[in-house]
Structure 1
């Protein structure tokens, strides 16, 4: 018993001596970083904002250029929202871009933000550009539009999808109107100005290189 008491007393005395000499107590908390006097504290790096300003770029004039070239140049300038349409209003798709040329563009050449949508009005290489862009087919209103000279496809897109539409070969040859964008309307029923009330629609048409 005497020996154990002596050891405990000596241990306590040693700990008190270490404390008195400035020994640092052990802690499980991370130590604070040391700084040298006179050294500025590093500034906290701010998190960059996710919002970035929209860039502005110069859009070239593509009138008279091939559609594929026009699209490539627009993308090289920083514009990627590109669309195109049939300037003759026939509703044809520009499936093979190199077979089409640009008649006009919206917006015009100049400075624009790079998120601007670019639309090219086009015709096929062998065709002449119209004096006025016919644009894309517009939805019919409450009355029957005058579709004479328009493509069957444009007329179909203008009417509500629920309408029953019959297309006949106006030459009497009973040809199948397969590619509707290549056929122009000669006559129609109901006639222009008639109230659109769901009655079936009939078109008599010929190909665009044929007279009605």
Structure 2
């Protein structure tokens, strides 16, 4: 009997020991909250400075100089917006700049922003500059302009492209008017001052070195 009691006591002690080893410890302390890395405070972007004013440079007086030389000199000074036109108003293109000379310029010589558009009025080397720049042909208004003495090309540029235009040799030679900038108008129909209403236009012309 004593042996059974002792064995039972030992078995109970062992069971308590095993239970104590396997039990989980529960803490009453609340778990620390789970955190994520914070977003850094944005650094203020420096205010962009205002765009610098356009640079200025000195534009020389190009009157009397060759057109090619004038253009090169203007570019060397910092001006790159260059253009040119026929100072006689004949609408000729300055295809070979070295064959043309400058009669006038816009703007005049002086200090200007380098992004200024520079326009040279020019004539061919063998021609005299006009007393007044003829400037580029402007579109016609509601009435027929007076084209007498003007080049056929300039007249064509003034009139709307939709107009039907016929050009005849005013002499008895019946020549074909090929290079229209080299021909001047002697007579026109309809006459100057007539309302432009779409009627066909007819010009009689001769070359510029010929009398009408």
Same fold by TM-score, threshold 0.5 exceeded?
yes
Following TM superposition, the consecutive aligned residue runs of length 4 or more in structure 1 with deviations greater than 3 angstroms are 44-50
**Within 5 A, what are the aligned runs for 1:129-140?**
129-140=129-140
Unaligned stretches of 5+ residues in structure 1:
4-27, 33-43
Secondary structure of 2:58's partner?
A: strand
Secondary structure of 2:80's partner?
A: coil
Name the residue aligned to 2:6: none
Q: Counterparts of 1:186 and 1:116 in 2: how far apart (Å)?
A: 39
By how many angstroms is 1:111 displaced?
Answer: 0.6
Q: Counterparts of 1:47 and 1:97 in 2: how far apart (Å)?
A: 48
Name the residue aligned to 2:144: 144
Name the residue aligned to 1:35: none
By how many angstroms is 1:82 displaced?
Answer: 0.6
Secondary structure of 2:53's partner?
A: coil
By how many angstroms is 1:135 displaced?
Answer: 0.6
**CA deviation profile, 1:92-129 (whole Å, cap 9, x unmatched):** 00011110000000010001111111100000000000
Name the residue aligned to 2:171: 171
**CA deviation profile, 1:132-152 (whole Å, cap 9, x unmatched):** 001111111111111000000
Q: Counterparts of 1:168 and 1:103 in 2: how far apart (Å)?
A: 32
Q: Counterparts of 1:157 and 1:177 in 2: how far apart (Å)?
A: 16
Name the residue aligned to 2:58: 58
Name the residue aligned to 1:154: 154
Name the residue aligned to 2:125: 125
Name the residue aligned to 1:74: 74
Secondary structure of 2:188's partner?
A: strand
Q: Counterparts of 2:70 and 2:180 in 1: how far apart (Å)?
A: 27
The CA RMSD over aligned residues, in Å, is: 2.9
Q: Counterparts of 2:172 and 2:50 in 1: how far apart (Å)?
A: 65
Larger radius of gyration: 2
By how many angstroms is 1:167 displaced?
Answer: 0.2
By how many angstroms is 1:52 displaced?
Answer: 2.6
Shift in CA distance, 45/140, structure 1 to aligned 2, threshold 3 Å = closer
By how many angstroms is 1:179 displaced?
Answer: 0.7
By how many angstroms is 1:53 displaced?
Answer: 1.6
